[in-house]
């Protein structure tokens, strides 16, 4: 296996390379400014759909840098929209897990390894939770540390400072039980499906938080399809590895968390603002907005 030795191209060289591959620039000065602030490496994800030959990196006839930047802007808006809506779902999940489980199996259920199916993995989660607790500067957490000697505050405080990933892993590792099912039942789905959906939306949240490409990404973590739901969902034929499926999960959960959600309107407006975006690459059908889920 060889070492990577290529030197980095400067910004003008990057433009020259793209032009040599057939990409058109309407405004090279603006493109130079974009590359200086966004980076060629990041922009490559949005240039790929414009390529005729993805091995030799040559572009389709008429492909422009501006088209790629339009995709970049759309993806940025999509990630921000997803992050804003996932925040509402995350807060709801924290609340359900903290109070339902504390009421049934104790206020420190999360630290009792008898509640979990895989104790070594639970130990890893607890190590992460200890780090999150140690670095928290939340006023209530600092006051708890001053007043009590317990290694953690009760669940409703500790889960507020845990990452969404830690929350998802705690749910996944919980032993099957009525109280575990009751958390999922609140959202009208089975515990297995809820576990899968949590994992998927945490994964998508991390994509958004790290400003990675979302719009046409083939999602590595594929959520389960529910056999039964409280509200209308999608047809089983919809692809599970595209953004549309996760956006549909978000819409489904928002119907419970925030019944007056305007997410469908925001999403439709976003797509209307960027008519050149290929929604089929995201897993959308042409009449997706007619689905009962989105009405």
pLDDT digits (tens, 9 = 90+) for 39-87: 999 999 999 999 999 999 999 999 999 999 999 999 999 999 999 999 9
Contact 242, 219 (CB under 8 A): yes
What angle separates helix 191-209 from helix 243-257, to the nearest 10 degrees?
110
What angle separates helix 65-105 from helix 40-47, to the nearest 10 degrees?
100
Contact 88, 250 (CB under 8 A): no
pLDDT of 92 > 90? The answer is yes
Cα 49 to Cα 71: distance, rounded to the nearest angstrom: 10
pLDDT of 235 > 90? The answer is no
Residue 241 φ/ψ region, left for φ over 0, alpha for ψ in the -120 to 50 degree band, beta for the rest: alpha
- Going by pLDDT thresholds of 50, 70 and 90, the confidence category of residue 6 is confident
Model confidence over 123-140: pLDDT tens digits? 999 999 999 999 999 999
- Going by pLDDT thresholds of 50, 70 and 90, the confidence category of residue 2 is confident
3-class SS of residue 285:
coil
Give the position of tokens 């940025």: 76
pLDDT of 13 > 90? The answer is yes
CA 105 to chain centre: 30
Cα 202 to Cα 68: distance, rounded to the nearest angstrom: 27
CA angle 103–249–212, rounded 5-degree value: 110
pLDDT of 113 > 90? The answer is yes
Looking at every residue in the chain, the average pLDDT score rounds to 95
- Going by pLDDT thresholds of 50, 70 and 90, the confidence category of residue 154 is very high
Give me the helices (H) in the chain, please. 11-20, 28-38, 40-47, 65-105, 119-135, 139-147, 155-161, 164-173, 178-186, 191-209, 243-257, 263-273
Question: Higher confidence at residue 106 or residue 236?
Answer: 106
pLDDT of 295 > 90? The answer is no
Residue 38 token pair? 């966004």
Mean pLDDT of 22-35: 97
Percent of the chain with pLDDT over 70: 100
Mean pLDDT of 132-153: 93
Mean pLDDT of 7-16: 94
pLDDT of 175 > 90? The answer is yes
pLDDT of 11 > 90? The answer is yes
Q: What's residue 7's pLDDT? A: 86
Mean pLDDT of 245-249: 97
Model confidence over 55-68: pLDDT tens digits? 999 999 999 999 99
Which CA distances in Å does 62 have to 34, 58, 204?
20, 12, 33
């Amino acid at each position: 296996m060889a070492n990577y030795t290529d030197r980095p191209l400067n910004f003008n060289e990057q433009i020259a390379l793209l032009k040599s591959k057939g990409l058109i620039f309407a405004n090279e000065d603006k493109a130079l400014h974009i590359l200086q602030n966004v980076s060629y490496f990041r922009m490559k994800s949005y240039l790929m759909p414009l390529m005729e030959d993805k091995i030799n990196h040559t572009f389709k006839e008429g492909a422009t840098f501006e088209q790629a930047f339009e995709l970049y802007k759309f993806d940025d808006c999509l990630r921000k929209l997803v992050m804003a809506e996932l925040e509402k779902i995350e807060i709801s999940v924290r609340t359900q897990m903290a109070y339902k489980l504390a009421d049934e199996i104790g206020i420190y259920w999360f630290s009792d390894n008898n509640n979990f199916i895989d104790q070594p993995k639970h130990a890893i989660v607890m190590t992460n939770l200890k780090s999150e607790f140690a670095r928290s500067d939340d006023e209530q957490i600092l006051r708890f540390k001053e007043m009590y000697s317990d290694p953690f505050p009760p669940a409703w405080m500790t889960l507020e400072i845990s990452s969404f990933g830690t929350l998802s892993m705690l749910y996944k590792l919980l032993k099957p039980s009525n109280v575990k099912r009751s958390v999922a039942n609140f959202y009208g789905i089975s515990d297995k499906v809820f576990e899968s959906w949590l994992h998927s939306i945490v994964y998508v949240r991390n994509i958004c938080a790290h400003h990675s490409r979302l719009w046409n990404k083939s999602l590595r973590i594929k959520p389960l399809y529910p056999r039964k739901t409280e509200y209308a969902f999608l047809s089983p034929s919809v692809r599970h590895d595209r953004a549309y499926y996760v956006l549909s999960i978000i819409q489904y959960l928002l119907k419970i968390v925030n019944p007056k959600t305007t997410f469908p309107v925001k999403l439709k407006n976003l797509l209307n603002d960027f008519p050149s975006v290929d929604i089929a690459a995201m897993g959308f059908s042409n009449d997706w907005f007619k689905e009962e889920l989105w009405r």
